[in-house]
Structure 1
Amino acid sequence: MANDRFIGAASLLCVLALPVAASGQEVGGRAYEQTGLSAGGFTVYPAIETGPAFTDNVAQSPDDRRSDIGLRIAPELKVRSGWSRHSLSFDLDSEHVLYARESDEDTNDVSLNGAFRLDVRRDLSAETEARYSLSDENPGSADVPSGAVGRVQDQSFGGSVGTTYRPGHVVARLRGTIDWYRYGDVDLGDGSVEDNSDRDYMAPEIELRVGYDVTPAVRPFIAVGYGPRIHSHKTDRNGLRRDSQGVSVSAGIVLEPSSLWSGEIGLRYELRDYDDPALKTADVVGFFGSLLWRPTRLTDVRLSVDSGLDETSLEDASAVRYHSATLGVSHRLRRYLTATGELSYALDHYVGASIDEETWQASLGLSYSIDRQIALVAGYRYTLFDSSVPDRDYTENRVTVGMRLQR
């Protein structure tokens, strides 16, 4: 474990050293950015990355490390409206890896998001959003049985409707959201299947948020929200009623887009009380939001943080209290050459079960643009998973190379 942490620390130093090592390579312009395809009042930005991916621990196993090579396919699609009023956007990001020997360990990650804003008046707008995600559950998670074979895929479907009112310097937003979470069944080593349908749940929420424009670029805000969680089964596999009622209070600051800063960050408190008296009331205090800092015209630094309460199926746990943070750096060494680095950390604490899970990831990337449509890409990612549950820890080194095609 000491060696693993040393490697992680070394990766962090490499990430933080990227903009320093590249200083002095001052060049201008974003000559190789996507231009997109015009389609009526919209601009469409398609792209795809493909190439081999190598891993030294394809199953992310603590004691049965098997290396494999696979084909990585990562399509993207972005659509933006060009209207003078109202706006419509669509985003698709996905990554699929098909392995040569361990097909049960093929990975799939998909994220879809569509948003529409209707400008009713100068000071009043209505917004609606729809989203979908497909992801692989961490094999080391305490919610995944130790005898699991292959990947467990989870899905979520969601949407929101809201309105924003801007009377003078005040910005008030009322938004209602609803999300459905569906957990995939687990194939076990003895040939049986664990039914995870008792983990499925629906999460409606309503939130009121009020901000004030102190300056054109700075807006502090406060928000309150209420949201129950309703499971598809009245009781779970352990006979527990996991439906709950939750409230949240948050405060933060919005930085309107500028040449230096943009984004928002805040502090949130969330409390959740469960229908079953055997489940302990859970709460969390933590940061949320994302910030973009541009210290030079060649460098972007991104920070994203989040915290909250997730569901779990463990008998002794009422919730998973999570905190996560990601720091990323992108620097253009030349007009055609971009280096990236990222460090992320996530902590999951199972409330009532005293289980802690830590995930560290450090990655480096390089993109060499041949022209606006073609680029050569390469990346490296190191993952360290550390759990207080015995025989769950693992590390993984992953290398990808390939080509990016875009318009």
Structure 2
Amino acid sequence: MRISANRSQLTWSPVLGWVLLACATSAAQAQTETSSPAAQILLEQAPVIDIPDVPVSVTGAFNAPGEVGIAIGAFTLYPSIEVQAGYDSNVYATSAPTVGSPYTLIRPVVELKSDWLNHSFRISAGAGVGIYANASTQNYWNGFVQMDGRLDIREDFYATGLVAVRRQTEALGTPNALVATSPTVVDTIPVEVGLYQRFNRFFYDFKAAATRYNYTDNSIVSSGGLPAASRNRMEYDERVRLGYEVADGLDVWVAPGLNQRIYDQFVNAFGQQRDSTGWNVNFGATFKLTTKSILEGYVGYSTQTYIADGTTTPAFTFGLSGSWNGYDPLTIRPSFIRTINESPYSNYTNYVSTVLGIDFTYDIHDAWQMVGGTGINIADFTPAPGSGAGPRTDYYWRASLGLLYALRPQIQLGPLYEHTTGWSTNVPAGGPSYTREVISLRLVARR
């Protein structure tokens, strides 16, 4: 999501959130020119059911009719806060017995953005605090601090950079969540540098990223789950996009890339060596229909090869993202993505995550707005060599629908309903088997 100067289109998308957590992409890679720090924020734990990456809380855009932001010299400050209160029918995401609980979510975000003619700089910070009246072990706090910017070298030639510190709780009922009394927390430190240059209609966009992952187990994890020390690692990504502007608003490109995943423990608690290298190549296009309708899609191929035994996981990949506003009151945002992710289980080395989602915002009349979305995440696990584990595919489907009423230009209030179902081809091996309903009242305020 691009952050406009007046923030009139900023939204925390349930589908985007889901994609970030469910796909477990590196934080540095997930932060692109079109993603908002507010969206990266919290990839919250339930009740927003951020099967983040899932992600999802949700839902909806904040289309303030007036300007937002506080001018501070050559910068503009954008503060916001979201408060959500309601009832979660299945806090632990289990089949039976289920535990329901009232909950409260408080999510403040602040962003300071430069208004310079050349170059740009942005610093943002946010937090998310969730409180469950009947399940205190699921109480959590997440947060982030991020700095990013652009250095203009000359016209059509610039460098970019990003550094952040993020804390995220692995939400129960998601592909990466190990069954435990209290959820596991992952702290990440992403760093990314980039270089972009355009020659007439040709362009390249190079990115290099490194992300540190540190896990904290707040209780004993389920049998077969990797302890935190066996999951701590570094991930490196190097990728370049080579493109050509076919026509105004239409770019075609090819994007090859490499990655390296290096664990702190060369041999983990289960006697496994999980260091790996991978490569991928994507062919895609970016289509700018209007200033509000921009779609980007690609198809490609990826592999991840484990150094110790040489086994390789291949996958055909694809992606589709952006925003369509062909009918003025309606904005539709697709979010399709397929990736190879690290597994938190000892019996499975990784899983291929396929996320197919879409969300929408519809301006009904004057101050009324309808928001919602639906998506499915399919996780195909790869058995670890010698583990004896059988095939396993987990499925997570979620849908949400809500209304927002603008009490004032910068304040919206309304109900939100969310449903999530998880099932698996191998429930005895730890696959999900649950349904979950969340009903809440959501207040969003931006200045």
Same topology, TM > 0.5: yes
Amino acid of the residue matched to residue 276 of structure 2? S
Counterpart position of 1:47: 80
What is the identity, as a one-letter code, of the residue corresponding to 1:302? R
Which residue of structure 2 aligns with residue 27 of structure 1? none
| More moved, 77-86 vs 395-404 | 77-86
Q: CA deviation at 1:328?
A: 0.5
Counterpart of 1:324 (choices 318, 331, 355) is: 355
Where do 1:363-402 residues align within 5 Å? 363-390=400-427, 392-402=432-442
Structure with greater contact order relative to length (CA < 8 Å, sep ≥ 6): 1
Q: Could you tell me which residue of structure 1 aligns to residue 247 of structure 2?
A: 215
By how many angstroms is 1:350 displaced?
1.0
Deviation digits for residues 289-314 of structure 1 (CA, Å, limit 9, x no counterpart): 41200022211100112221111243
Give the distance between the partners of 1:152 and 1:289, measured in 2 at CA: 30
Q: For 1:240-259, list aligned pairs within 5 A.
A: 240-256=272-288, 258-259=290-291
Other structure's SS at 1:239 match = coil
Counterpart in 1 of 2:302?
270
**Is the aligned partner of 1:105 residue 2:138?**
yes
- 3-state SS of paired residue (1:101): coil
Identity %: 21
Paired position in structure 1 for 2:364: 333
Name the stretch that deviates more: 322-331 or 125-134: 125-134
> Does 2:216 align with 1:176?
no
Q: 1:100 to 1:60 in 2, by over 3 A?
A: same
Cα RMSD, aligned residues only: 2.3
The change in CA–CA distance for 1:189 and 1:45 in structure 2 (over 3 A counts) is closer
Pairing 1:180-199 to 2, within 5 Å after superposition: 180-188=212-220, 195-199=227-231
* 1:405 lines up with 2:445 in the alignment: yes
Secondary structure at the residue paired with 1:370? strand
1:133-212 equivalence runs, <5 A: 133-140=166-173, 146=179, 148-188=180-220, 195-212=227-244
- Length-normalised TM-score, structure 1: 0.85
Q: 1:336-375 residue pairs with structure 2 within 5 A?
A: 336-352=367-383, 353=389, 354-375=391-412
Higher strand share: 1
Instruction: Structure 2: state its 5+ residue gaps.
Output: 1-62, 384-388
Alpha-carbon deviations, 1:199-251, whole Å to 9, x = none?
11111121121010111201011011111111011111211111111111111
Q: How big is each residue's C-alpha offset from its partner over 1:84-125, in whole Å with a ceiling of 9 and x where there is no partner?
A: 111223444554320112111124454554321111011311
| Mapped contact 1:53–1:97 kept (Cα < 8 A) | no
Name the CA shift for 1:244/1:165 in 2 (closer, same or farther; >3 Å).
same
Unmatched 5+ residue regions in structure 1? 1-29
Contact residue 174 and residue 396 of structure 2 kept, 8 A: no
CA apart distance, 1:136:
2.8
CA distance in 2, matches of 1:113, 1:395: 35
AA aligned to 1:42 is F
Q: 1:127 and 2:167 equivalent?
A: no
Q: Deviation per CA, 1:252-288, whole angstroms, max 9, x where unpaired?
A: 11124724521422113111111221x7311211212
Distance 2:94 2:408 in 1: 41
Q: Across the two proteins, how many residue pairs are aligned to each other? A: 374
Give the C-alpha shift of residue 140 in structure 1: 4.4
- Secondary structure of the residue that 2:246 maps to in structure 1? coil
Q: Is the 8 A contact 1:280 1:318 kept in 2?
A: no
Match of 1:20 in 2: none
Give the Å deviation of 1:185: 1.2
Q: TM-score, normalising length from structure 2?
A: 0.78
Kindly state the Cα deviation for residue 156 of structure 1 after the two structures are TM-superposed: 2.2
